[in-house]
């Protein structure tokens, strides 16, 4: 009889200072509205979309142009870590994340924090692999000396930043178990303060911006058919969408940092983290999709709308600053294995002597 009586008891009342009649960030909902299913659906859908784009990238790079490099395997690793992160958010939702904190069983709080650490770890690993992959792609397709030097410098910044970030996550608490074991925390275990996490977050936005800004000066210097140049700008400028997503995520973190209803108010962070990491992978894959678009939409890719013009020229849209169409013989930044070069090749020569003899022309194999 006692069990039957307990089953009809009303849910616990919200603690003082909270409101059960609101949703996260003003979303409709309240104490009787759980967003656990929303988190699961978002995680699954975004992970599927990211995986599809990775598959299309590998089809493009392996089957169509027969060029696979470390940047491709790194983006695959990024997507694997992203899927693991999305799985962590699903597990959090199963444990109670997505409903009001006072409705989460006390015994689930420790496992929730432990799963939360793993989602942070996989998030950082995904971002690390994606950022290095994009920067390495720049190095592969560019042979302009100043652009390659800038790409190598940026790669160094990206690697150093991500190594420090991963070390920071691995030492979030000392011992690490204090991140989810409240007893260890009460005994005086060390955990990084919020200022360190905010510094890392702001640096992430800056690094993102530098990564997606770097190709713009190179693209501006090259003469293309208008249609192809617009496409090239679109493919690379999509990266600024990731910067916008990162800023939205920072805004959400900022306004929910001191929430007394963490597992409810922090729902948008979970949703935007799934969107951001998978969108980063999608953008990185889009940068390599021109051969696939040329295969599926040949008229769109051909200069002047003539679908056969690309075949007559051999490599349509390969132009220097004077508008001439050079031969494919300008050396790539590294030997290419397979029958074709990368879909986009920017270069003026491999050394100073060749740079002088080429009159500092810039070409792109597009």
pLDDT at 24: 61
pLDDT at 231: 73
DSSP-based three-state secondary structure for 280 = helix
The top-scoring range by mean pLDDT among 123-137, 171-185, 334-348 is: 123-137
Token code pair at residue 175:
């011992």
Cα 348 from chain centroid?
Answer: 31
Between 153 and 3, residue with greater pLDDT? 153
Burial-class residue 201 by CB neighbours within 10 Å (0-12, 13-18, 19+).
Answer: middle
The answer to whether residues 289 and 57 touch, using CB atoms and an 8 Å cutoff, is yes
Q: For the chain, what percent of residues have pLDDT higher than 70? A: 71
194-213 and 239-256 are packed helices; what angle lies between their axes, rounded to 10 degrees?
Answer: 170
Domain 33-215+231-288: which topology? Rhopdopsin 7-helix transmembrane proteins (1.20.1070)
Which residue's entry shows tokens 């950022």? Answer: 131
Give the model confidence (pLDDT) of 211-237 as tens digits.
988 888 887 777 666 667 777 777 777
pLDDT at 145: 87
DSSP secondary structure of 240-279: HHHHHHHHHHHHHHHHHTT-SSHHHHTHHHHHHHHHHHHH
Token code pair at residue 225:
């058919």
Between 328 and 303, residue with greater pLDDT? 303
Between 62 and 356, residue with greater pLDDT? 62
Give the model confidence (pLDDT) of 36-74 as tens digits.
899 999 999 999 999 999 999 999 999 988 888 899 999
Give the model confidence (pLDDT) of 251-275 as tens digits.
877 877 777 788 888 888 889 899 9
pLDDT at 175: 92
Which residue's entry shows tokens 């600053």? Answer: 321
Give the Cα separation of 355 and 361 in Å (integer). Answer: 8
The mean pLDDT value of the chain amounts to 76
pLDDT at 70: 92
Between 9 and 272, residue with greater pLDDT? 272
Backbone angles phi, psi at 190, to 5 degrees: -85, 135
Token code pair at residue 350:
């491999």
Length of the chain in residues, anyone? 366
User: Is pLDDT at 242 greater than 90 in this prediction?
Assistant: no
Q: Confidence class of residue 128 from pLDDT cuts 50, 70 and 90?
A: very high
DSSP secondary structure of 2-54: HHHHHHTPPPPPPPTT--TT--GGG-S--TT---HHHHHHHHHHHHHHHHHHH
Burial-class residue 270 by CB neighbours within 10 Å (0-12, 13-18, 19+).
Answer: buried
Between 278 and 296, residue with greater pLDDT? 278
């Amino acid at each position: 009889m006692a069990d039957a009586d307990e089953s009809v008891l009303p849910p616990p009342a919200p603690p003082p200072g909270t409101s059960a009649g609101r949703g996260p960030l003003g979303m409709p909902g309240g104490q009787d509205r759980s967003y656990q299913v929303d988190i699961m659906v978002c995680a699954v859908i975004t992970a599927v979309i990211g995986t599809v784009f990775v598959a299309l990238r590998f089809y493009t790079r392996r089957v169509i142009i027969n060029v696979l490099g470390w940047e491709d395997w790194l983006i695959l690793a990024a997507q694997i870590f992203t899927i693991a992160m999305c799985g962590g958010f699903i597990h959090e939702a199963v444990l109670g994340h997505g409903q009001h904190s006072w409705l989460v069983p006390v015994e689930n709080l420790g496992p929730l924090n432990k799963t939360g650490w793993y989602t942070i770890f996989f998030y950082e690993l995904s971002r690390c692999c994606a950022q290095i992959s994009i920067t390495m792609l720049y190095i592969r397709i560019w042979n302009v000396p100043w652009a390659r030097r800038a790409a190598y410098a940026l790669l160094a910044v990206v690697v150093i930043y991500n190594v420090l970030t991963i070390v920071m996550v691995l030492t979030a608490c000392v011992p690490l178990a204090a991140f989810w074991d409240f007893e260890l925390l009460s005994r005086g275990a060390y955990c990084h303060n919020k200022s360190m996490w905010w510094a890392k977050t702001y640096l992430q936005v800056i690094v993102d911006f530098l990564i997606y800004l770097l190709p713009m000066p190179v693209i501006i210097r090259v003469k293309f058919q208008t249609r192809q140049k617009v496409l090239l700008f679109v493919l690379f400028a999509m990266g600024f969408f990731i910067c916008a997503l990162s800023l939205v995520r920072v805004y959400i973190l900022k306004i929910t940092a001191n929430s007394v209803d963490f597992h409810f108010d922090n729902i948008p962070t979970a949703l935007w983290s799934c969107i951001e990491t998978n969108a980063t992978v999608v953008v990185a894959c889009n940068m390599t999709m021109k051969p696939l678009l040329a295969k599926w939409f040949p008229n769109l890719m051909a200069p002047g709308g003539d679908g056969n013009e690309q075949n007559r020229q051999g490599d349509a849209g390969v132009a220097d600053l004077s508008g001439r169409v050079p031969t494919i013989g300008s050396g790539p930044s590294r030997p290419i294995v397979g029958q074709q070069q990368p879909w986009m090749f920017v270069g003026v020569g491999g050394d100073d002597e060749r740079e002088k003899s080429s009159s500092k022309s810039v070409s792109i194999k597009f």
